[in-house]
């Protein structure tokens, strides 16, 4: 025992898994010292090799089982424990949904200190088929030992695990990997080397429309301004992928973690694909943000509509609106909606989206929500309902304070991070907004990501 740490690196122990971490990993205690065991489930008894020892916690590698959980299933993917993409494939789907709800419950009670009955936090809405749900995939292209590898980064590293079939992506992405790899090998096209900032092909991105004839876009991200043997590539893609409607060259010569560069050249077909959420039509270009699980996006947005409970005469604010998708969903049921978003290109898209759906009561503003919404309020625009859908870090406190001065009767909060959601619900509680209903929605099956939509109502109205 070193420095009172009760386990030693590289030694094996039999541990009882008594808890679950944020990423779905098992948690065991040895004399109050915490050990995280990825791929172990609560209730299991497992043999573990200690691989890392920190001052307050350590990590163990699962070696064998003494007792298995009834919630354990065989992962569908053969590279599941190498690739960093999924964390919960060894959970039954029912258990995944329970895990996500429990994360929300814990955060709301511990961080937000919200006094809400358990029934107020609903069961997670899952998918009928929780596989092949993603409409977009981005995969790094690298070379190792003279072999091209296209796949995903290993967890916490930039080593690429080769992928032949990914069960959360659309099947067309598997085909694209095959065709592009074959073309690279045939014409000796180099893969990118991050350390040297050399080599041609950095990433491939594939996007597919789920509700519009399977329209498919392939984007090749290169470290060069031109692509050799591009006609041969176009021919091969068209021959092997009949649904292809768009082949794009994206130029990114910077040595950066940002995948896409700003410049796109259409090599063949259209500059965008078109897809629908509900009855609304969206043009999706390579750089546009678009929700990656279109089936559950519709579920989420319909929940937003239900929580907003609009009667037709309301003024609505949609803060952090992206390409205006929620604004458009709400527009038909209210008098006017204002969407605010920090990225100009997203607002350009939002305006186009509104126009092509014949929506005239949605207005869009570029800027920070915490600056633009107070300005709207100062101009006398007093909202009845406010939707917020912030990034992981949650809402700016300035925005929440300014909202609370408006007398808006409802706030609909869409969140991709239970921790910051809970913090903001706590702040809103102090500002007079009561958490009424909490609904987790499974937007990312097989992963530990949790999406939640919450209805808050103004007290004493």
289 binds ligand SAM (CB under 6 A): yes
Residue 211 has phi, psi (to 5 degrees) of -120, 20
Question: Which lies closer to ligand SAM via its Cβ, residue 124 or residue 325?
Answer: 325
Q: Is 229 one of the annotated binding-site residues? A: no
Question: Which lies closer to ligand SAM via its Cβ, residue 116 or residue 300?
Answer: 300
Nearest residue to 167 (alpha-carbon basis) of 120, 127, 225 = 127
Question: Which lies closer to ligand SAM via its Cβ, residue 267 or residue 386?
Answer: 386
Q: Is 291 one of the annotated binding-site residues? A: yes
Question: Which lies closer to ligand SAM via its Cβ, residue 30 or residue 416?
Answer: 416
386: Cβ contacts below 8 Å, ≥ 6 apart:
316, 317, 319, 403, 406, 408, 410, 411, 412
Q: Is 262 one of the annotated binding-site residues? A: no
Alpha carbon 387 to its chain centroid, in Å, reads 19
Separation CA 373–CA 345 (nearest Å): 19
**Contacts with ligand SAM, 328-357, as mask; x by CB under 6 A:** ------------xxxx--x-----------
Q: Which of 59, 210, 320, 433 binds ligand SAM (CB under 6 A)?
A: 320
The least distance separating ligand SAM from the CB of residue 336, rounded to whole angstroms, comes to: 18
Q: Which of 326, 337, 362, 376 binds ligand SAM (CB under 6 A)?
A: 326
Compute the CA torsion angle 248, 355, 288, 286 (nearest 10 deg). Answer: 0
Cα dist from 353 to 88, 270, 285, 357, whole Å: 35, 17, 12, 6
CB-nearest residue to ligand SAM: 322
Crossing angle for the helix pair 397-404 and 369-378, nearest 10 degrees? 20
The least distance separating ligand SAM from the CB of residue 300, rounded to whole angstroms, comes to: 8
Q: Which of 391, 397, 407, 459 binds ligand SAM (CB under 6 A)?
A: 391
91, 71 in Cβ contact below 8 A?
yes
Which residues bind to ligand SAM, rule: CB under 6 A? 289, 291, 320-322, 325-326, 340-343, 346, 368-370, 389-391, 416
Residue list for the binding site for S-adenosyl-L-methionine = 291, 320, 341, 389
């Amino acid at each position: 025992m070193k420095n009172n740490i009760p386990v030693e690196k590289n030694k094996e122990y039999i541990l009882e898994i008594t808890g679950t971490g944020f990423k779905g990993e098992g948690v065991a205690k040895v004399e109050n010292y915490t050990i995280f065991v990825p791929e172990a489930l609560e209730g299991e008894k497992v043999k573990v090799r200690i691989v890392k020892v920190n001052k307050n916690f350590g990590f163990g590698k699962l070696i064998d089982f003494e007792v298995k959980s009834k919630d354990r299933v065989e992962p569908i993917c053969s590279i599941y424990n190498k690739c960093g993409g999924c964390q919960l494939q060894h959970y039954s789907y029912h258990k995944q949904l329970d895990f996500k709800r429990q994360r929300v419950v814990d955060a709301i009670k511990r961080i937000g200190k919200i006094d809400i009955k358990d029934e107020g936090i609903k069961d997670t809405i899952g998918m009928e088929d929780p596989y092949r749900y993603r409409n977009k995939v981005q995969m790094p292209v690298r070379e190792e030992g003279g072999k091209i590898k296209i796949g995903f980064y290993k967890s916490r590293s930039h080593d690429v695990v080769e992928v032949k079939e990914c069960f959360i992506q659309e099947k067309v992405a598997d085909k694209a990997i095959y065709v592009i790899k074959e073309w690279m090998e045939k014409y000796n096209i180099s893969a990118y080397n991050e350390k040297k900032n050399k080599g041609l092909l950095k990433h491939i991105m594939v996007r597919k429309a789920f509700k519009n004839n399977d329209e498919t876009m392939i984007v090749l991200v290169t470290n060069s301004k031109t692509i050799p043997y591009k006609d041969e590539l176009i021919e091969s893609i068209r021959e092997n992928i009949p649904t292809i409607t768009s082949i794009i060259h994206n130029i990114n010569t910077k040595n950066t973690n940002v995948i896409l560069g700003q410049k796109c050249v259409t090599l063949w077909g259209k500059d965008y694909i078109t897809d629908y959420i509900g009855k609304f039509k969206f043009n999706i270009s390579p750089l546009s943000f678009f929700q990656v699980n279109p089936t559950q996006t519709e579920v989420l947005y319909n929940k937003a509509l239900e929580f907003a409970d609009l009667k037709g005469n309301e003024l609505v604010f949609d803060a952090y609106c992206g390409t205006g998708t929620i604004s458009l969903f709400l527009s038909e049921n209210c008098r006017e909606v204002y969407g605010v978003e920090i990225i100009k290109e997203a607002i350009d898209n939002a305006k186009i989206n509104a126009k092509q759906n014949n929506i005239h009561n949605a207005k869009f503003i570029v800027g920070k929500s915490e600056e633009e919404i107070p300005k709207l309020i100062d101009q006398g625009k007093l909202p009845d309902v406010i939707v917020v859908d912030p990034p992981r870090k949650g809402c700016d406190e300035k925005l929440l304070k300014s909202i609370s001065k408006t007398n808006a009767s409802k706030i609909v909060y869409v969140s991709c991070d239970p921790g910051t959601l809970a913090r903001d619900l706590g702040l809103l509680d102090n500002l007079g907004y009561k958490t009424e209903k909490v609904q987790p929605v499974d937007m990312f099956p097989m992963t530990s990501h949790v999406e939640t939509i919450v209805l808050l109502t103004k007290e004493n109205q």
